[in-house]
Every structure is written in structure tokens, then in C-alpha cells.
Amino acid sequence: SQTIHQWPATLVQPVGSPLSLECTVEGTSNPNLYWYRQAAGRGLQLLFYSVGIGQISSEVPQNLSASRPQDWQFILSSKKLLLSDSGFYLCAWSGGDQETQYFGPGTRLLVL
């Protein structure tokens, strides 16, 4: 069966520091991968999606970036965090042409 992992689970970082969040998927090949952000009490905002290794589409301009170095690995990064980057970051995958998305447990980021 397929599983999706995210780490760390919680992160507290100072403003201006770098960021690296990791998402990995097991049990499926060539998944579509997604990064979403959920601000407190709000819905989900799509940040990035990837249909394959090295293929990244950005949904909103921001100081975040994403990379997909392996088929099963999706990384969310920033060179310098802003206060407004605080939130709950969720990774999701879907299989090939299937549209249903399955979510990881999330990473809670607090920028101070």
C-alpha cells in the first residue's frame, strides 16, 4: 500500500533563516506531488505541484521554492523565511491520471 511521510512534524525558525521540508511517498511510482499551505483557520492554498522528476509548477509568487530530486521525494525550501511563512504545510500525492489526492500528516512551521 502507498504511504506518504513528511518531516519534521513541527519546526520553529527565526525570521531570515533557511527552510527545508521533506515529503516522501512509498508504494507508488511516478506520482503527482503537491505542496499546500494552510494558514490558521483557513483553507488550503496550492503552492507547487510536480508531475515528474525535475518538473515543478509554481502556483503563487513567493519566497518559497520546490524541488523533486527523486521520483518519490518532494522538497519545499526557502533561503530566508518571513513571518508570513508560518502555517501548516501539507504534501499530497495522486497517481498518474487519477485526480484523487492523498495527504501526508503535515508540518507545522512557526516563524518568529
Partner 1 sequence: GEDVEQSLFLSVREGDSSVINCTYTDSSSTYLYWYKQEPGAGLQLLTYIFSNMDMKQDQRLTVLLNKKDKHLSLRIADTQTGDSAIYFCAESLRDTGRRALTFGSGTRLQVQP
**Segment 29-88, which members bind partner 1 (CB under 8 A)?**
32, 34, 42-44, 46, 49, 51, 57, 59
Nearer to partner 1, 15 or 57 (CB): 57
Nearer to partner 1, 6 or 24 (CB): 6
d(C-alpha 61, C-alpha 65), whole Å: 9
Q: Minimal distance in Å, beta carbon 107 to partner 1?
A: 10
Under the criterion CB under 8 A, does residue 93 sit at the interface with partner 1?
Answer: no
d(C-alpha 50, C-alpha 12), whole Å: 27
Phi, psi of 2 (to 5 degrees): -90, 140
Asked if 23 and 8 touch (Cβ cutoff 8 Å), the reply is no
d(C-alpha 42, C-alpha 40), whole Å: 5
Helix extents (H) in the chain: none
Under the criterion CB under 8 A, does residue 105 sit at the interface with partner 1?
Answer: yes
Contacts to partner 1 by CB under 8 A = 6, 32, 34, 42-44, 46, 49, 51, 57, 59, 90, 92, 94, 99-106, 108
